[in-house]
Amino acid sequence: MDQRAEIPLAFRPLPEDEMQSRAASFRALMAARRTVRDFSDRPVPRALIEDCVMAAASAPSGANQQPWTFACISNPDVKRRIRAAAEEEERSFYAGRASDEWLRALAPLGTDADKPFLETAPWLIAVFGQRWGVAPDGSRVKHYYMPESVGIATGFLIAALHGAGLATLTHTPSPMGFLNAICGRPDNEKALILLVAGYPAEGATVPDIRRKALDDVTVWI
């Protein structure tokens, strides 16, 4: 077996009081994060998006294969095409489901087939998972734990955008194959999430919801 190259770990231990302070500060930062559906068209610099995407690309992945592609879209014409395709898919999906319990649960969150934010927000980030890689000779390379890896990276991305001062919305039209065509992505990539990013519109509101308490989401063993 070939020996892998190793380098020293860059790790600086912190005093426990600083660790607790950092943990509490990050918890408060993320607790203030809310999904936004009313976006401003205020521009966001590309460099800011680049830093957030590269933070996402630092996420752990199965066998370090980094099986993700982030298609970052600011072109108005492309955003318009994405909105039209997404709304068509959503209307088809909602058709005949008006009595579904699931749809009734979504109603208070403002979820429907109309998606103006896909045009208004300055950036859309289509997150693709690479179902397999391609070797230099054109053969397929098996990717391990792609959905889990891309899910972790997307969490990093949302946290980075929120930490930078932007609002986000995770949008998952069903099906999402149209994103491959619009973004020019190959067959080995699967669109998993369409992330909307930008500033909230002036006077934007969000649903009055509560998050589960510690005892509701943890088991200590």
pLDDT in tens, 113-159: 789 999 999 999 999 999 999 899 989 999 999 999 999 999 999 99
Strands 189-198 and 167-171, sheet pairing:
antiparallel
Query: So what's the pLDDT on residue 103?
Result: 55
Query: So what's the pLDDT on residue 105?
Result: 58
Query: So what's the pLDDT on residue 90?
Result: 77
**Residue 204: CB partners within 8 Å, gap ≥ 6?**
36, 37, 38, 39, 167
Query: So what's the pLDDT on residue 4?
Result: 79
Domains of the chain, CATH where assigned: 35-202 (3.40.109.10)
pTM of the model: 0.90
Query: So what's the pLDDT on residue 198?
Result: 98
- CA triple 103-107-110, angle to 5 deg: 130
pLDDT < 50 stretches in the chain: 1
